[in-house]
Amino acid sequence: MKKKDYALEAKRFIDAAGGKDNIESYLHCVTRLRLNLVDKTKVNEAEIKASSLTKGINYAQNQLQIILGSGIVEAVHEEVQKIMEVSNAPLDEKLNSDKLEDFKLQAKANKEALRNKTGFFGQIQKGMRVLGDIFVPIIPAIVAAGLAMGVSALLKQIIKPSGAQLDSLLWIIVDIVTKTAFDSLAVLVCWSTVKRFGGNPVLGIIIGLMLVSPLLPNKGSIASYNAQYDFYKEQLTLGKAPLDIYNAWIKAGLKWMGNVPNATSVWDPTTAAVAPIKLWIIPITGYQGSVLPALIIGIVVAYLEKWIKSWMPKSVNMIFTPFLTITFALLIALFFFGPILLMVEQGILIATKAILSIKYGFGTAIIAGLLQGIVITGCHQVLQGLEMQLVIDGSLPGANGAAPAGSIFNAIWTASIISQGGAAMAVAIKAKDKSDKELGFSAALSTFFGITEPAIFGTNLPKVKPFIYASIGGFFGGLFAGILNVTCPGMGVTVIPGLLLYTGDWVKLLGIIGVNIIAFSSAFLLTFFLFKEGVEAKKTKLGLKFDELKSKVKFDKIKFRRSKAE
C-alpha cells in the first residue's frame, strides 16, 4: 500500500474513533494501534472494520486496539501522529483564518514536542520495536529448530562413545531438520527485514539465498582453516613431518569439524576447500548464521528497490528493477560490508586474546558478558579459530602453569548462553500476555541446549533491559569459570549437551554445573526484580501525556512572548 493510502486509513481510524477530540493519547505495539479514548461510545466499529488494513478490534477499558499486523501498524501510527500533532485542515482554509499566527505557533510547539519524543531514548525504543517487527515472524522457526538441534547434539554426545555411526541416513535427516533454519538464518532475516521496510519480500529471499550460497566459504570454516594453517606452520618449523602434524591435530579432538584430510594422505593447507576466496585484496565470505549483516542488507534491498522504481520506466519496471536491486545489493554485501565486517572480526579476535589474558577470572568474565552482543553482529564465528587453538594449547593464554586440560572457551560460551535463558525465563514468569509467556518459556528452554537466538531476538533484546541483565549474568558465570579454570578438551556443544565434555574430570564437571547455576540464577534474579514491564508501559503513556503538556506549555510561552512584543 502506498504511503498516501496509509494517511487516508489513518484519518479514517481517527474519525471512526470519534475524532481528534475524543482521542486522549495514542501509541502502538508490535501489531496493534492503541487509541486511549475519552468516550468509547463514540466509536464507529463498522467503519474501522471496513478498512482493508483492519484484522480485528479489541478494547482494554477505554483503550481501542485496532489490530493491523507487524510492519503496517508502524506506518499507520506515523500518519496518525502527523494528523494528531498538527491540524489537518486544508492550507487555504488556514491562510484565510484569523488564527493563522496561532496555527503557526502551535505547529512550532508541536514540532518541538515531536523532536523531544524522538530523542536518543526514543530512537532506541523505536529501534527495538523495529527489531520486534522483524524477528517476531521468524521466531517460531528458530525456536523449533533450536530445540531440535539441542536434542540432536545431546543424543550425539551420548552415542559417540558407543562407536555408533553418525553418517547414517537417519542422522543426515536429523541434521537437515536441525541445521537448515540456522544455516539459512540470513535468508529469514533478509525476507522479514525487506517486508518490514516495504520492499518486495521475494527479493529479500533471493538476496538471502545468495548470501548463504554454498559457493561462498563459511566464516566458521575459514576460522577453522586459519587455525589449522597456523598450527601446521608452527609445527613444521619444529621439524615435524606433515603426517605427524596431522595426527597431532586429530589428537586435539578436532576431527569432528570435518575440515581435516584423510589420515593416509599428506595435508596441504594451501589447497584446502575452506581456504578464503579473494578478489585482488578483497576477501569474499558467506553470511551463514549471520544476523546483523543480513538485517542491514535487507534494509538496503528495500530502499534500493524503492529508489530504482522511482525513476525506472513502468514499461520495463518489472524486468529491470528486481535485476538491478539484486545485483547492486549483492555487490554491496560482498565488496563493501564483507571487508568491513572482516576487519571488525579481526579487531574482535585481537581484543578477545588480550582480554583473556587478564588474570583472576576477570578476562573470562568480560568475554562472557560481551559474547552475546558479538553474536548479534555475526562476528562471533571468527572466535572459533581462537577456541580451536585453546583446545590445542590446553590452557588459558597467559595463564602460567595451567594444566593442559583443554579450552576454557566452552565455559565462557555456556555462561553467556544460559544467562540469556535466565533472563527470558524471568520475563516469561512476569509477563501478563499469554503469547509472551509461551515465547519466553520456549526461548528459555532452547538455551538449555545451547541455542540463544529465540531468547535474544524474541524476548530479551526487544525489551532491552533483560538483555543487559543477561549479559551481567554471563559476566558472573564467566568470572566463576575463570577463577576455577573450568576447562574441557572439546568444543561445539554447550549447557546440557556440553556437560558430557566434562565427564572425564568430576572436578571440572562440578565446575561447569556451577557456571550454569550462577549465570542462570544471577540473570534470572536481576531481570525478575529489576525489570518491570508494566511500569515501562505506564512510563510510555505518561511520557506521551508529558510531551503533550510540554507542547501546550511551550505554545503558551511563545504566544505570551508574541503578544507581549506586540
In the chain, where the domains are located: 1-83
The residue that leads in pLDDT, 160 or 348, is 348
Q: Give me the mean pLDDT over the 389-395 stretch.
A: 56
Within a 10 A sphere around the Cβ of 327, how many other Cβ atoms?
Answer: 12
Q: Indicate which residues carry an active-site annotation.
A: 29
User: What does DSSP assign to residue 407?
Assistant: B
CA distances to 87, 202, 272, 307 from 322, rounded to whole Å, are: 39, 10, 36, 12
pLDDT of residue 398: 38
Is the pLDDT confidence value at 540 over 90?
A: no
pLDDT of residue 270: 40
Question: Mean of the per-residue pLDDT values for the chain?
Answer: 74
Is the pLDDT confidence value at 193 over 50?
A: yes
d(CA 524, CA 419): 8
Which architecture characterizes domain 1-83 according to CATH? 2-Layer Sandwich (3.30)
Percent residues over pLDDT 70 in the chain: 62
Is the pLDDT confidence value at 92 over 50?
A: no
Is the pLDDT confidence value at 474 over 80?
A: yes
Among 10-19, 182-191, 462-471, 522-531, name the one with the lowest average pLDDT: 182-191
Cell matching residue 199: 520492499
Among 66-70, 151-155, 460-464, 551-555, name the one with the lowest average pLDDT: 551-555
d(CA 443, CA 142): 9
pLDDT of residue 281: 65
The residue that leads in pLDDT, 348 or 455, is 455
Is 494 strand, coil or helix? Answer: coil
Q: Cα 169 to the chain's mean position, in Å?
A: 33
Q: Give me the mean pLDDT over the 77-90 stretch.
A: 69
Is the pLDDT confidence value at 34 over 80?
A: yes
Q: How confident is the model at residue 453 (pLDDT cuts 50, 70, 90)?
A: confident
Is the pLDDT confidence value at 111 over 90?
A: no
Within a 10 A sphere around the Cβ of 326, how many other Cβ atoms?
Answer: 17
Q: Give me the mean pLDDT over the 377-390 stretch.
A: 66
Is the pLDDT confidence value at 12 over 70?
A: yes
d(CA 145, CA 177): 7
Is the pLDDT confidence value at 93 over 80?
A: no
Is the pLDDT confidence value at 183 over 80?
A: no
Q: Give me the mean pLDDT over the 419-425 stretch.
A: 95
